[in-house]
Chain A
Amino acid sequence: MEEPSKFERYVYKNASVYHYMKISLVLENGNKYITDAQFKQLITCGLKDLYGEVGASFPFDLLKFDQNELTGILRVYNSGLVKLWSALTLLGSYQNEACAFRVMQVSPFLLALSGNSRELQFGDQLTL
């Protein structure tokens, strides 16, 4: 008599060590020329204003950066997600010019950032 096959389910509470955020920078007076280093420096300044030296030293990475659209993908450890997100929210100015960070997607898996049902367009060509 063979035993019935067992059903096993694995539940992970913290599946990934990192969180990934897709963000975009919106400037008041239209797009400026910003390099990826300046973009990261801007975010670090925001972290430093809100959370001080200890907050600004928290490691995060800019994985992708689109200079024309001023969008990027950030990677941060789970413990620093709240700090980074709050610093992005409260960042108000870049070189004396009003600006805002829009957070478009946040996910613990990078693959989830490749598709977004909000920006999905149906038609003859499937464009995302």
Chain B
Amino acid sequence: MVRFKSRYLLCEVCVPDRSSLQLLEDRTIYNTLRAAVNRAHGDYGSALFNIGVIVKYLNAHTGVVLIRSRKKHYRLIWSALSFITCLENRGQKVQCFLNCLHVGGTIRTCQKFLVKYNRQQLHRMLPACKTDAEKQEVRRAILSCSLSNVREEEADEDGSDDDGDEET
């Protein structure tokens, strides 16, 4: 039927030191993105931004941002993301760049991708752990990350990780 289709851009804010991430707000990202779209695409870009773009979700601990835009213009907004060099928050400038991880049609698909992506990142972190306690923490985190209605995956994870525990 006829409805407004949107695209959700799942992005990650990459900063040199993680402590400056804590102060991020979705208003900061919105204003910075609007300025970048205005510089890159002029009045036309500003008008498109005003119509359909909104920052739907921001996680200050991990730096994950979810931006929604109309389906017709998501590439324009995406192209302006690369021109963002610093985020300004209450007079403090934070050097950063926005990395786009995934483009989804709904929030649900972006969430599924984020779960898979976080699990991959944790797997990557495991060899880099220095102490045993950290390793146990990471393993517990991998086991617990799943959507509430994806029960089969959890059972498989339990089985394979138990074998891994017995070997070490």
Interface residues of A (CB under 8 A from B): 48-55
Q: Are A49 and B79 in contact (CB under 8 A)?
A: no
Q: Are A53 and B40 in contact (CB under 8 A)?
A: yes
- 22 pairs from A and B in contact (CB 8 Å cutoff): A49-B43, A50-B42, A50-B43, A50-B44, A51-B41, A51-B42, A51-B44, A52-B37, A52-B38, A52-B39, A52-B40, A52-B41, A52-B43, A52-B44, A52-B45, A53-B39, A53-B40, A54-B40, A54-B41, A54-B79, A55-B42, A55-B44
CB proximity of B41 to chain A, nearest CB, Å: 4
Alpha-carbon gap, A50 to B46, bound state (A): 10
CB proximity of B13 to chain A, nearest CB, Å: 23
Interface residue SS majority, chain B: helix
Enumerate chain A residues within 8 angstroms of B38, measured Cβ to Cβ.
Answer: 52
Residue of A50, A51, A54 most packed against chain B (CB within 10 A): A54
7 cross-chain pairs, A with B, having the tightest CB-CB distances, nearest first:
A52-B42, A52-B41, A51-B42, A52-B40, A50-B42, A50-B43, A53-B40
Interface bin, chain B: 10 to 19
Interface residues of B (CB under 8 A from A): 37-45, 79
Enumerate chain A residues within 8 angstroms of B41, measured Cβ to Cβ.
Answer: 51-55
Alpha-carbon gap, A48 to B41, bound state (A): 8
CB proximity of A65 to chain B, nearest CB, Å: 25
Looking across the interface, which residue of chain A has its beta carbon closest to that of B76?
A: A54
Enumerate chain A residues within 8 angstroms of B44, measured Cβ to Cβ.
Answer: 50-52, 55
